[in-house]
Every structure is written in C-alpha cells, then in structure tokens.
Chain A
C-alpha cells in the first residue's frame, strides 16, 4: 500500500514534467511544415496569409522550385512540358505553389504564387502592447504596494488588499468587454484614432496585470525586517526616505522578479487583448492604430486555418511558449528565489 501510494504520487508529479515536454514537442512537430518552409526568417517576415507572386526567369525557377522541395517537378523539362500542357499547372501540396503558365507564354518567365506567412506583425504587436501595459501599470502597482505595506493601517490594508486581489480574479473576457465598450471610447476621445488600437489594448492589459503586480510587489516589500525600518525611523527618516532607502533596496530583487512575472503573464494574455487590438495583420503606424498580437492571431485563426496556415499558427504558439517560458523562468528561478 505504501509503495502504491508512493509510486502514484511520483507519477502524478512526473505528469507536470511530461506535459511541459509534451507541449514543447507537440508544438514543434505541428509547426514543422512552417519551420521547414520559412525557417528562422519567419520572425522577421511581415506578411501573413498573403498571396505572393514571384517572377523568375525559366532557368533560375528550376532551382527555386528545387529549393522549395517540390519533388514532383524536380526533374521535368520546363521548356517542353509546360507548353504542351493545358492552361495551368497546379502543384497542390503543402507549399501552395501555383505555376501560372499563361505568363510564361508571353515573357518566358514563370510566375509562381504561394501563400506567405510571417510572425513579425504579431510579435511586434505582442511586445508593444506588453510594453504599454507595463509602463501604465508599473507606477500604479508600486503605489498600491507601498500603500498596502507601509501607509495604510492594518484594518484598511486588509479589505483593500482583498479588493485588489478580487480585481485579479475577474475573468479576462470581462476586462475585454468592459474595455471595448466603456474604456476604449474614452481613450479614443482623448487621444484620437481608433477605439481598437495598440494603445487601448495595452492600457486594458495594464489594468489587468495591475493587481497581480501590486500583490506580489507588496509581498516582497513585506519581507523587509521591521528592525531595519525602525532603526531608520529612529534616525529621523521620513516615511518616504524609509521606503526609498530601506525598503526598495532591500526588496529590489523581489520587485524586479514580480515585474518580470507580470510581463510574462501579459505576453500570453488573449481575451482582453482580442477585444481591443483590432486583429489586423499590419504593422502599427502609430500608437493608436490597430494591429495584432500572437495570442489573438491564434484565437482568431485557429479554427479556420489548415495546412501551412495552421502550421504557421503552431509556429507562433511555439515562439510564444518559448518566450514566456524563458521570461517566467528568469523571474521565478532567479529573482523571486533570490528574494525569498
């Protein structure tokens, strides 16, 4: 019995390990087509689901086609075969390459069209919304943490602390709806531009991570030993000086950790951003123009995509997973561990 229980608990614990490795491997395998097709250049490619025509002369096209691993046409003779066939030759495989033969008749060139996918727009959108959220939430979260740990008397700090934590418990989809119908119109009036934009998405995201950041920052600040604070007060320091010179230096590592952790959360947030970012695959030209982020691109396109498109979405998921895994690991294993 003892042994059974022990092994049961060991295997449940290993499940965490298996799931995480499983996520990584599954995402990698599912995005293999896209990785093979686009390679690392995926990250810097601004196109998404875009039909691209490339005109190449007959000679080099043979090489291009070879390069893109289209086995069926690897050794066919372009000059003779193409002209004798019907209108179009469509090679319908994962590469989505269509060779338009009509053009060839006129100018000896092959026009190929294929669907291009790249991650630049969602990556930029994700980073910018997270940055805006951070810039907005950081000072307020610090203020709340200072208020809760240093200023407010215990009987006020407790209910306010709970209220802030309740704000963190509200489902993200509610933030999205509220943001879209009530918050964004006000921001759009103030700043101009669209209601759905980088700015409004970032700000609502900021409101969302605010309580989370405030709560862990407060916990870090609370670890400062009272003796240190009291000796500073005894020297005649004001509250601000105690906060600035004693508490911040003491809990610095923990505070940085909580900021990075909040950042990791903001990167992967889907629903609140989905309502507000506008979901347009275009690089933002201004802070109030719509764009898209990685989670939103996944949320909106997953069901409908297939083939290379779906594989590219998995590639996006892999990128997001790797980025957030790295950031969260750094926050938890380096900063927060060091702090405690």
Chain B
C-alpha cells in the first residue's frame, strides 16, 4: 500500500513536469508554425506602414538599449553600495525595497512615468518609454550585482587592501573582475526581460507606424504593436502580429540562453 501510494505520487509529479513541458512546447510550436508561416525576409526591410517590422524591431532595441544604458550603471553602482559600503540598516532597507520593486506591477510603473513625464511634456515619447523600462531594470541589476559580489571571497578584498589599494580600487579592479561573469549573466537576463515588456510602454512610448529616431515623439515599439495588431480584425494584421511575436520570442530566448551558456562555460 505504501509503495503504491509512493508510485502514484511520483507518477503525478512526473506528469506535472510533463504538463509544464507540454505548455512550453505548445507555445513554441504555435509560434513556429504561425510565425514562420507569415515570416518573410522583407519584414526586416519595410516599416510597419508598408507591412514590415523594421522600424518596430529597431525601435524596441533603442528603447531597451537606452533603458540598459541608464539602468545597468546605476544598478551596478547601487549594488556595490549595498554589498561593499553599506553597513547597518540603510543598506538592508534598500536591499529589501529593491527586492520588492522587482515584482512591482509593470503597469503601475507605466502609470508613474505617465504622470511624471508624459503629462508634463504633453505627449507620449520614446524617452518616457525608455525611462519606464530603466525603472524596471534597475532593481534586477541591483539584485544580481548584490548577489554576485557576495560570492567573492573576503580574502581577495583583504589581499587588495593589504597591498595598499584604496577601497574603490579594490572594488573596481578586484571584486568586480571576480564577479564579472555572474554580473554579465544577470544583466543579459535583465535585458531579455525588459525587451519583451509591453505594459510599461503602452502609454509612455506608445508605438508608431513609421521609422523614427526622435525620442521626443511616440516611438515605434514591437511589443505594443503586437498588441495592437493582434486585436485588429483583419487576418493580415494578425499574421503580422504572429511573425512579430515569433521574432520577439526568438530574440528573448536567444539572449536568455546566451546568458546561461556564458556562465556554464566559464564555470567549468
């Protein structure tokens, strides 16, 4: 009897792992079939107004790129503070808050940026979208940096200080170098996450049918356009949305896997 229950439970548990994998497979297969079906090379050459995706893909990269350019240095330096300089309560409070902020609803961050940037400047802009993404990215980078620096052995720091190096020199030349791979991985994963975000962009950058490099106007965004296209009644729009989703997913999963591969190779 005990053995029977044991078998049943283990079977159920294996079954749920299979269910999880089945969902992943189902989504990926759907994306491949629908996405590849409407995929065409000219999608990369035309803008949305001509039935292509070029402006959207470039726009999404620019938005996420600016967000990364803001979020990564700020997040890393903040993470260094928490781990290296912070003594006592304040650093602990910041660590907890950044932990909580990581799970804050992205649409609320969109609303926040809408109130502080879009309303005062009188309209949606690429700049506002990039800020919203940067706010999303900041706590993830802080968290990664904090965790990875905590893995660096104390002796390394002591050795540096014993040689007479100042603290910031030790941090930049020794601690960061030792934790480089882990931090890079975390940053890649963070980038993969924000490049697929839609909710914070909906009313900050919005999207645009045309190619644009002007950050003070509504800015082309792949994810927001997918949402718009998928809700259009015409089949051609939906097909385009599937092709765009396919490209987005391949992009996100590639960056994600690259990050993991990176760590695994360096570790062994």
A16 touches B139 (CB 8 A): yes
B contact face: mostly helix, strand, loop, or mixed: helix
Q: Choose one: A174, A207, A268; the contact of B106 (CB below 8 Å).
A: A268
A26 touches B116 (CB 8 A): yes
B105 touches A146 (CB 8 A): no
A132 within 8 A of B: no
B23 touches A167 (CB 8 A): yes
Contact-residue bracket for chain A: 35 or more
The smallest beta-carbon distance between A219 and chain B, in angstroms, is: 13
B202 touches A19 (CB 8 A): no
The smallest beta-carbon distance between A232 and chain B, in angstroms, is: 13
Which residue of chain A is the closest to B171 with respect to CB atoms?
A5
A178 touches B202 (CB 8 A): no
Contacts of A23 in B (CB 8 A): 104, 108-109, 112
Given known contacts A16-B101, A261-B103, A267-B105, is B112 in contact with A240 (CB within 8 Å)?
Answer: no
Against A, the Cβ 8 Å flags (1 = close, 0 = not) of B196-232 are: 1111001100100000000000000001001100100
B69 within 8 A of A: no
* Bound-complex Cα distance A334 to B197 (A): 29
Given known contacts A2-B168, A27-B108, A177-B226, is B96 in contact with A332 (CB within 8 Å)?
Answer: yes
A174 touches B103 (CB 8 A): no
Which residue of chain A is the closest to B259 with respect to CB atoms?
A169
* Bound-complex Cα distance A124 to B253 (A): 34
A182 touches B26 (CB 8 A): yes
B111 within 8 A of A: yes
Given known contacts A22-B116, A144-B20, A298-B107, is B27 in contact with A173 (CB within 8 Å)?
Answer: no
* Bound-complex Cα distance A143 to B135 (A): 35
The smallest beta-carbon distance between B250 and chain A, in angstroms, is: 11
A contact face: mostly helix, strand, loop, or mixed: helix
A265 within 8 A of B: yes
Contacts of A8 in B (CB 8 A): 77
A314 within 8 A of B: yes
Against B, the Cβ 8 Å flags (1 = close, 0 = not) of A248-268 are: 000000000000010011011
A321 within 8 A of B: yes
Q: Considering residues B24, B99, B108, which has the most beta carbons from chain A within 10 angstroms of its beta carbon?
A: B108
Q: Choose one: B6, B10, B241; the contact of A177 (CB below 8 Å).
A: B241
* Bound-complex Cα distance A243 to B107 (A): 39
Q: Choose one: B138, B168, B253; the contact of A166 (CB below 8 Å).
A: B253
Q: Choose one: A170, A177, A180; the contact of B253 (CB below 8 Å).
A: A170
Given known contacts A16-B138, A171-B248, is B77 in contact with A9 (CB within 8 Å)?
Answer: yes
B168 touches A13 (CB 8 A): no
Which residue of chain B is the closest to A142 with respect to CB atoms?
B16
Q: B150-203: which residues lie under 8 A (CB-CB) from chain A?
A: 166-168, 171, 189, 192-193, 196-199, 202-203
B242 within 8 A of A: yes
A333 touches B196 (CB 8 A): no
Against B, the Cβ 8 Å flags (1 = close, 0 = not) of A146-184 are: 111011100000001011101101111111111011100
Which residue of chain A is the closest to B17 with respect to CB atoms?
A147
**Which of A46-54, A56-64, A283-291, A322-330 lies at the interface?**
A322-330
A234 within 8 A of B: no
A214 within 8 A of B: yes
* Bound-complex Cα distance A83 to B11 (A): 81
The smallest beta-carbon distance between B52 and chain A, in angstroms, is: 19
Contacts of A329 in B (CB 8 A): 96, 100
Given known contacts A140-B20, A173-B223, A177-B245, is B14 in contact with A151 (CB within 8 Å)?
Answer: yes
Other contacts beyond A1-B166, A30-B115, A169-B189: 10, CB < 8 A: A9-B80, A9-B81, A16-B101, A29-B115, A143-B19, A173-B248, A214-B20, A269-B105, A295-B199, A299-B107
10 residue pairs A–B, Cβ–Cβ below 8 Å? A5-B171, A9-B80, A23-B108, A172-B199, A177-B245, A238-B3, A241-B2, A317-B107, A328-B100, A332-B100
Closest 4 A/B residue pairs (Cβ) = A268-B105, A143-B16, A171-B196, A9-B81
B contacts, CB < 8 Å to A: 2-3, 5-6, 9-10, 12-17, 19-21, 23-24, 26-27, 30-31, 74-75, 77-78, 80-82, 84-86, 91, 93-94, 96-101, 103-112, 114-116, 135, 138-139, 142, 166-168, 171, 189, 192-193, 196-199, 202-203, 206, 223, 226-227, 230, 241-242, 245, 248-249, 252-253, 256-257, 260
